[in-house]
Chain A
Amino acid sequence: MAVRNAIFRLVLVLFAAGACLAPGGGSASGGFDAALVLLAGKSAKKRMAGIEALAASAHPAAAPILSAMVDGRLYYRKDDKRLFVVAKRGREFDLFDPVAGEQAGTAPSKSLKKVKVNNRLRRAIRKALAGLNLTHADRAIRLEAAAGLLKSADPGLRPALVAALEREAGGDVRAAMELALAAVDIGPDSTPAVRIAAAERLGASESPEARALLGRVVGDAKTDAAVREAARAALQQIEDRLELYRQFGAVFQGISLGSVLLLAAVGLAITFGVMGVINMAHGEMVMVGAYATFVVQELFRTFAPEFFGLSLAVAVPAAFLAAAALGVGLERSVIRWLYGRPLETLLATWGVSLVLRQAVRTIFGPTNREVGSPEWMSGAMELAGGVAITYNRIWIILFSLAVLAAVMAVIRYTAFGLEMRAVTQNRPMANAMGIRSRKVDSMTFALGSGVAGMAGVALSQIDNVSPNLGQAYIVDSFMVIVFGGVGNLWGVLVGAMSLGVVNKFIEPFSGAVLGKIVILVALILFIQRRPQGLFAMRGRAAEL
């Protein structure tokens, strides 16, 4: 079946190649027109045939039509089944005629119907596009085409691939095409010698498809023994490297989890660690930061959609200010009266936390709010079979370190930081030196809250933006602080990172739930050994 199919397609390709030489040739454009009719067909089967025929036609409009289809922008007019690529504008669609290659006015959305795709059709389209785009002028598109061919490993496209390879001078596109060729060659249609060579080439590759292809050969008992042996060796090569990547991936994921914990905890390290306020509303400050991000993004969407990529950069100070302002208000109205009574701050801030959660629910509604990721934060760097380093995690790690560094700099190098340290160390003496300790308290609480708000910007990228956001992090934040040592920012850093990394190394063995329990129990036992955390404060400050 597969062979017949392949031959059929080979004929089509050759035929199409011939047709290409004579554009406008009657029979070829007939295939193209027939394909268009099939695409507007009702059943997925018809549309599938349409995709294949379109690919075979090699018509210049085929690639644009197929990519519009896979993007969900290909519609047909209900009365004459003519295909259009549309741009949505509310209830009106801008039409573009892909065959003629020109704008075709507008039409109400009701008069058009979408050409539906499902995952099977999507795969077929990607394969077809890969075949069509192998010789595209744009390097990036050729690269994508080669990657698509690697996924489909379709022997029918081998001649086209070989032809494209000959035109490719070198570089990553050529490497990708060679890999795709190996993916085709390892299939059962090739001779054992070719298959063994292909296995070797695949064994050197990092792509998950290589692993899958080799696995399939190893698992197939009907395969020639020598080929299977070569595939097994190549697979082993990949597995060995993969093990290394996995370890690296676990470290990265651990640091990434640690950076999230760090962000969640830094603000608390100030309000709780430095000021001694058991701030149960800390999580809600993070939540306020996340909602500030949402509001900023909404403003961008409404007023300056073209600058959406900058929205997060604007959201960081906005979230800081929103949370800091709230923090000042909270300090002035409630916390101020409770200094020296840390346990009572627990009660009051818990009340504040209830109120804030309900307030957000009332203002923004109880459902999740969408916070988008700008282009530069999306996507991932693929290492090998399943290990990916995602860009947003890298940004969050960098952001968390930057926040920590900024807080440290403020405390160490600014006049406010000096006053803050003075007030925490010895309030009466600081007062005597002319420091207005009341004002410093306000500012310190504002700083802690503001930093929590900035954490909200980062967390909005990976978690729900909902009224419950803060609750998810409050217990963890307190753990980090207590583990690291109250009142010590280095302790927060080391505490967060080690909890994150240890968690990620335990998780694969124990599962996510048990891993977390193990960490908690270990933490309880650790505190027995070092009752003041990793970096214990000495002297009076330790007596909280």
Chain B
Amino acid sequence: MRLLDLKGRIFLAALAVLAAGAALLNLALPESAALHVPNYAVGLIGKYLCFALLALSVDLVWGFAGILSLGHGAFFALGGYAMGMHLMRQIGERGVYGHPELPDFMVFLDWKELPWYWHGFDSAWFALPMCLVVPGALAFLFGWLTFRSRVTGVYLSIISQAMTFALMLAFFRNDMGFGGNNGLTDFKDLFGLDLKDAGMRAGLLLASAAALAGGYLLCRWMTVGKFGRVLVAVRDAEQRTRFLGYRPEHYKILAFTVSAMMAGVAGALYVPQVGIINPGEFSPANSIEIVIWVAVGGRGTLVGAALGAVLVNYAKSFLTGAAPEMWLFVLGGLFVAVTLFVPKGILGEIPGLRARWRERRDGHG
């Protein structure tokens, strides 16, 4: 197995064309031009790419290690919060109360000083690594506990859901110091550049595309070699792999942690593009949706997961505007239809189709 097969090359090429094209057409052309890509489309594509990276991270653990995580939204949100905290600190004195140190929500809730866990986030050198470290550490702890006690299958899914649910409730609490239900918002700039600036937006889009490409290569690298083969063996027959002398929990913990860090990166790139992070991102429903993107695109295909995320989210964006009262019927129906008629997902069906086509050709020939 090569690191980059045909599918991968097409994917990366398409990604590069999409991101660079959108950024160029947005910046270089005047608004009146027919080919001009409007600002909101740039933001939207950037958001989709973050979701695609998130879906990729779920596909890594679900598609290749058989871990159905119903709590991956938590890692995404933690990455987002780490970035959000950095962005909050960047506001400085420009908050509504003009406090030099405290974010607005702390000022009006009477906080006198910055809580200890907010320290350091004013520096990008600390905050950006935290986008990886915090989700990674939680995933490692969670994996270390659960995979060693051989919690598997639906038990694992449900307790990962419990984890994200507990985090959601915790972040909703105003006493936690993360802005409660309102979350973190009103961001001004990143690295000294205005977030509203078109160039900044295009930059974030390109960064998301780069992260997605990097994430894809990382997943490929992890899954095509020996590590990947053991992972698949663990997925298909954990006991047997163990009896062959492997330690499945080590493989699973590693895959889970890497996956969580990817989700964290996705979250960190997502927040400056949508302008808000709040505990709703931890909700179990969000995590279920991520799994659904992967299933729609094709579990265990990586490219399919990314594609599924973009397709489902595009459908959601489109339908909530075009059919605000009917879109849940369409989306719900789509999920049912995909499971029944395209059980392997859109990309997962391709090899089968190809085989059938070949069969028919050979039969005729």
Contact = CB atoms under 8 A, between A and B. Distances in A.
Physical contact A–B (CB less than 8 Å) = yes
Interface of A: 272, 278, 280, 334, 337-338, 341-348, 350-355, 357-359, 362, 471, 475, 478-479, 481-482, 486, 513-514, 516-517, 520-521, 523-525, 527-529, 531-533, 543-544
A357 B146 contact: no
Nearest to B142: A524
Contacts of B365: none
B292 A524 contact: no
B166 A520 contact: yes
Contacts of B146: 527-528
A531 B172 CA distance: 29
Interface stretch (B99-107, B328-336, B349-357): B328-336
Chain A CB within 10 A, most for which of B158, B163, B288: B158
B16 interface: no
20 contacts: A278-B154, A337-B340, A341-B343, A347-B295, A347-B339, A351-B332, A351-B339, A354-B335, A355-B328, A358-B326, A358-B332, A516-B166, A517-B166, A521-B166, A523-B159, A524-B163, A527-B151, A528-B149, A531-B150, A531-B151
Given A346-B288, A517-B170, A354 B331 contact: yes
B165 to A, nearest CB: 5
B325 A362 contact: yes
A531 B249 CA distance: 15
A348 B328 contact: no
Given A346-B68, A482-B159, 11 more contacts: A348-B339, A350-B288, A354-B329, A471-B285, A475-B161, A479-B162, A481-B158, A517-B170, A524-B159, A527-B159, A544-B153
A472 B162 CA distance: 14
Chain B CB within 10 A, most for which of A342, A482, A529, A543: A482
A351 B155 contact: no
B159 to A, nearest CB: 5
Contact of B165 (A343, A362, A520, A531): A520
Interface of B: 68, 145-146, 149-155, 157-159, 161-163, 165-166, 169-170, 172-173, 284-285, 288, 291-292, 295, 325-326, 328-329, 331-336, 338-340, 343
B163 A513 contact: no
B276 to A, nearest CB: 22
Given A344-B343, A475-B161, A352 B154 contact: no
Contacts of A486: 154-155
B28 to A, nearest CB: 41
A482 B331 contact: no
Nearest to A486: B154
A373 B345 CA distance: 48
A272 B326 CA distance: 29
Contacts of B163: 520, 524
A355 B329 contact: yes
Contacts of B162: 475, 479, 520, 523-524
Q: What does DSSP make chain A's interface, helix, strand, loop or mixed? A: helix
Contacts of B338: 347
Contacts of B339: 334, 338, 344-345, 347-348, 351
Given A344-B339, A347-B291, A351-B333, A532 B158 contact: no
B154 A334 contact: no
A398 B45 CA distance: 54
Contact of B154 (A280, A342, A344): A342
B281 to A, nearest CB: 16
A514 B169 CA distance: 8
Contacts of B334: 351
A382 to B, nearest CB: 33
Contacts of B151: 527-528, 531
Nearest to A353: B332
A272 B154 CA distance: 10
A60 to B, nearest CB: 58
A322 to B, nearest CB: 20
Contacts of A528: 145-146, 149, 151
Contacts of A531: 149-152, 155
Contacts of A337: 340
A355 B335 CA distance: 10
